[in-house]
Amino acid sequence: MADLKLTDVAKSYGPVDVLKHIDLEIEKGELIVFVGPSGCGKSTLLRMIAGLEKITGGELQIDGQVVNNVPPAQRGIAMVFQSYALYPHMTVRENMSFALKIAGKSKSEIEAAVNRAAKILQLEPYLDRLPKALSGGQRQRVAIGRSIVRDPKVYLFDEPLSNLDAALRVATRIEIAQLKEQMPDSTMIYVTHDQVEAMTLASRIVVLAGGGIAQVGTPLELYERPENTFVAQFIGSPQMNLLGGRIVGTGQQTRVELPEGQGTILSNYPTKESDMGLEVEVGIRPEDMIATDGPDYAYEGEVEIKEALGEVTLLYFKKQKPEHEPVIAKLPGIHTDVRGKRMRMTAEAEKVHLFNNGQSLLYR
Ligand SMILES: Nc1ncnc2c1ncn2[C@@H]1O[C@H](COP(=O)(O)OP(=O)(O)OP(=O)(O)O)[C@@H](O)[C@H]1O
């Protein structure tokens, strides 16, 4: 049975629909990450699951129970926010014990729960310190500790790392991954802006856009088989190149002509005879671009900008029309003297994505 089930869930503020037709099943033990552009409703959806926002349509079930009208405290969930809001005058131990004391738990129960959480989070050396004597990452761990002691069914994280600096973000992200491994049965939902967090932590990612779900899948499914151009360009950095094309050969492999690149390319996306001549968008990730001297190329252009990042070099090709996005190639290693040079690019057929009107030809 799904741990969480959302059926046709909707949210509107007065006449404004923020979310609609959200259908999602989350299994026990999953770590689900919500991503999407700013304002797409990630936090709103999380807050509706928490019970902090009213659901204006549809049904939310937790553990088989409809909880639309159940108050937050009775939903068996715990929420960790980006601002950790610890009580400054209480020690780590007192901060972590507080909710259990309020709930009337016995001293021994509280001690056992706090010790267990402190062990999982490696907070044992800090239990008698005040929050001000802790680093940002340690404070965030105490905030997580306060939810672990309550042994909730579902953990909700709203951008828990966004107040930390880059190095600490990486360290704390790894700690959250380890925390999840130590609590394999806990269900977690995590909102983030950070793609790397989403890709590394998630068992499945939910991409939200335009008030709905653009795709749900494992990180690799979204990366390798995006259902639409939105997900294709949202996942991966720099974003996937999209070039206008026309199908000129069909079958198990499809050949596409690319007027913008003056070449043609093969894709492993299969097509039917009736697709002959179909206008498509051809998606090639920058990291899948291969430089070639051969006659069989997809794109020829002049390198306008070069960014050397050490292990890779980004090449930005000169746009042929102002309304085009620049085509970007991410080549391994260091490339000198490429600015102003004309180069030909291609990609392996298995890395070439095809879309029609924004929808992948794989999912027709
Ligand atoms: N109380 C409110 N009244 C009216 N509109 C609201 C209210 N709260 C949020 N919204 C709107 O709902 C939409 C979704 O907001 P939400 O904070 O969920 O987005 P988000 O995806 O979490 O954004 P971000 O990534 O910027 O944090 C936004 O357009 C926002 O302006």
pLDDT for the residue numbered 342: 96
**Distance, CA 12 to ligand 1 centroid (Å)?**
10
pLDDT for the residue numbered 176: 86
pLDDT for the residue numbered 229: 97
Residue type, 38: S
DSSP three-state, residue 285:
coil
pLDDT for the residue numbered 81: 74
Fold annotation for 4-233: Rossmann fold (3.40.50)
* Rounded Cα–Cα distance for residues 225 and 305 (Å): 29
Nearest CA to ligand 1 atom 1: 13
pLDDT for the residue numbered 1: 56
Q: What is the ipTM of this complex?
A: 0.95
* Rounded Cα–Cα distance for residues 256 and 244 (Å): 10
Q: What average pLDDT does the segment 250-261 reach?
A: 95
Q: What average pLDDT does the segment 335-349 reach?
A: 94
pLDDT bucket at 135, cuts 50 / 70 / 90: confident
- 265 Rama class: left (phi>0) / alpha (psi -120 to 50) / beta: beta
pLDDT tens track for 142-192:
988 998 898 888 999 998 888 778 888 888 888 888 889 988 999 999 999
In degrees and rounded to multiples of 5, residue 71 shows phi and psi of -65, 155
Ligand 1 nearest atom to the CA of residue 208, by list position: 21
Ligand 1 nearest atom to the CA of residue 191, by list position: 22
Ligand 1 nearest atom to the CA of residue 193, by list position: 25
* Rounded Cα–Cα distance for residues 93 and 62 (Å): 30
Q: DSSP code of 347?
A: -
Q: What pTM, to 2 d.p., does this model score?
A: 0.90
Nearest residue to 343 (alpha-carbon basis) of 313, 322, 321, 363: 313
Token pair recorded at residue 201: 């932590």
pLDDT tens track for 33-55:
999 999 999 999 999 999 999 99
Question: Higher pLDDT residue, 184 or 347?
Answer: 347
Segments of the chain assigned to CATH 2.40.50.140: 234-363
Nearest CA to ligand 1 atom 8: 44
pLDDT tens track for 269-305:
999 999 999 999 999 999 999 999 988 999 999 999 9
Question: Higher pLDDT residue, 22 or 158?
Answer: 22
The CATH code that applies to domain 234-363 is 2.40.50.140
pLDDT for the residue numbered 136: 82
- H-type helices in 37-159, by residue range? 42-50, 92-102, 107-120, 136-148
pLDDT tens track for 201-222:
999 999 999 999 999 999 999 9
Token pair recorded at residue 47: 């807050």
**Distance, CA 188 to ligand 1 centroid (Å)?**
21
Among 12, 22, 43, which residue has the most ligand 1 atoms within 8 Å of its CB, making it the best to mutate? 43
Mean pLDDT (the chain, rounded)? 93
Nearest residue to 30 (alpha-carbon basis) of 288, 300, 291, 218: 218
pLDDT for the residue numbered 83: 67
Identify the weakest region by mean pLDDT among 17-21, 27-31, 50-54, 174-178: 174-178
Q: What average pLDDT does the segment 22-43 reach?
A: 95
pLDDT bucket at 260, cuts 50 / 70 / 90: confident
* Rounded Cα–Cα distance for residues 303 and 291 (Å): 12
pLDDT for the residue numbered 345: 97
Identify the weakest region by mean pLDDT among 4-8, 74-78, 128-132, 162-166: 162-166
- H-type helices in 121-271, by residue range? 136-148, 166-182, 195-201, 219-224, 229-234
Cβ < 6 Å from ligand 1: which residues? 13, 18, 36, 38-44, 193
Nearest CA to ligand 1 atom 6: 13
**Distance, CA 282 to ligand 1 centroid (Å)?**
33
Segments of the chain assigned to CATH 3.40.50.300: 4-233
Ligand 1 nearest atom to the CA of residue 45, by list position: 18
Q: Kindly tell me if the per-residue pLDDT of 84 is higher than 90.
A: no
* Rounded Cα–Cα distance for residues 334 and 173 (Å): 30
Helix/strand/coil percent split, the chain, to 5: 30, 35, 35
